[in-house]
Amino acid sequence: MNGINYAILWDLDGTIVDTKDCHFLTWKSALKKYGVELNQAVYAMNFGRNNQALAPLLLGFDPDADLLEALIDQKETLYRQAAPEQTTLVPGVRTWLSTAAELNIKQAIASSAPMENITMMLSHYELERYFNTIVSGTNLPAKPEPDVFLKAAKDLRCSPADCLVIEDSLAGVKAAKAAGMHCVAVSTSHAREELHQADFVVDDYRVPLNKILHALGWV
């Protein structure tokens, strides 16, 4: 690995686990209790942002702190109940995770999701062993701000220039590039042409990871 400390920073929702439909349905159920119809276009455009940034957009107004907390708690309770049965791994992701581990590339989760969701999903799919650190962006500025990725790189003691972010959302791709990192976008949540700011776009992980790493000069 050229003696350089490389790292892969993974988003979770839509990137490792296909959760978009599950999040959509649980947001829809939670908002309905407040008399709000979920706007699918607004949801799709902002998928990947943390709850604190997303909820006001879905509500259509800025809620007070109590309403925001109650809505998010209801939504995430519904999500954690449904996710084990209503989500699947993105095809080939275990191969990429294991290939990176075999190459001694450090790996992190850098997700907008609450930590409770992250740990639940990693445990459910038995993926914990692949990650050197886990960063939740719940209390950080929301993507497309780069904070969650910069925090993960700092935890791993890696230069941003030596990090590869794997994302599915437009906000996530923008955050990766704002952090000064390389980016692979997987087209699980958006069409390939919408993800053009990424360095590489893949449909899933059946493309060999080594092909990407070779293009970066990492192997």
pLDDT at 1 over 80: no
pLDDT at 109 over 90: yes
Q: What is the pLDDT of residues 87-101, one digit of tens each?
A: 999 999 999 999 999
Helix (H) or strand (E) holding 161: none
Q: Which residues pair with 108 in a beta bridge?
A: 9, 133
Q: Report which of 189, 173, 184 is spatially closest to residue 208, judged by C-alpha positions.
A: 184
Report the distance separating Cα 122 and Cα 127, nearest Å.
5
In which region does residue 9 sit, left (phi positive, over 0), alpha (psi from -120 to 50) or beta (all else)?
beta
Q: What is the pLDDT of residues 112-151, one digit of tens each?
A: 999 999 999 999 999 999 999 999 999 999 999 999 999 9
What pLDDT shows up at residue 198? 98
Report the distance separating Cα 63 and Cα 13, nearest Å.
25
